[in-house]
């Protein structure tokens, strides 16, 4: 028995352009087109469309981390010498000793400024002599 050979091409019928379609797709995947050609411009346009339009449909979960350094109200003022004065409410501080106050003040100021050292503390009192807030001069380390 003789073997029959299968031929995909039927005589007299034009062949489908699948070869050229696959060649074009392979050129896109392998990025083999010259700069300035139509296919190169199409590839760049598709990339730009993806970059600018994909955030509308894809949730990348790229929101910044919400960070509340301290819940106290800290007022920051320039000291005129290139540094800053931090005004901290006395009601936010619980320590009774001066060393404990410094540590609590540093815990409040450092999330704002970074590594720092307190150089001077000045209590601000009301008319009856009660401390309302503290002015804190800070030097960055």
Per-residue tens of pLDDT for the chain, all 141 residues: 566 665 555 566 556 677 888 888 888 888 888 898 998 999 999 999 999 999 888 888 877 766 655 566 788 888 877 778 888 888 888 877 888 888 888 888 888 888 888 888 888 888 888 888 889 888 877
Site of tokens 């301290």:
70
User: Which two three-digit tokens encode residue 65?
Assistant: 């981390």
**Nearest CA to 86 among 99, 77, 96?**
77
Q: What is the pTM of this model?
A: 0.48
Region for 12 from its dihedrals, namely left if φ exceeds 0, alpha if ψ lies in -120 to 50, beta otherwise: left
The domain in which residue 129 lies consists of 74-140
**Beta strands, E only, the chain:** 74-78, 84-89, 116-125, 131-140
> Are residues 136 and 109 located together in one domain of the fold?
yes
Count of structural domains within the chain = 2
> Are residues 51 and 82 located together in one domain of the fold?
no
Question: What is the spatial distance between Cα 84 and Cα 81, in angstroms, rounded to a whole number?
Answer: 8
């Amino acid at each position: 028995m003789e073997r029959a050979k299968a031929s995909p091409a039927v005589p007299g019928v034009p062949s489908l352009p699948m070869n050229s379609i696959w060649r074009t797709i392979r050129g896109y995947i392998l990025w083999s087109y010259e700069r300035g050609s139509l296919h190169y411009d199409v590839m760049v346009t598709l990339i730009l469309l993806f970059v600018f339009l994909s955030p509308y449909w894809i949730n990348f979960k790229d929101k910044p981390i919400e960070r509340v350094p301290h819940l106290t109200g800290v007022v920051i003022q320039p000291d005129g010498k290139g540094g800053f004065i931090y005004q901290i409410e006395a009601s936010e501080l619980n320590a009774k000793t001066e060393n404990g106050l410094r540590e609590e003040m540093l815990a409040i100021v450092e999330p704002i400024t970074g590594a720092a050292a307190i150089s001077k503390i000045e209590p601000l009192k009301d008319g009856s002599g009660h401390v309302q807030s503290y002015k804190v001069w800070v030097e960055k380390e």
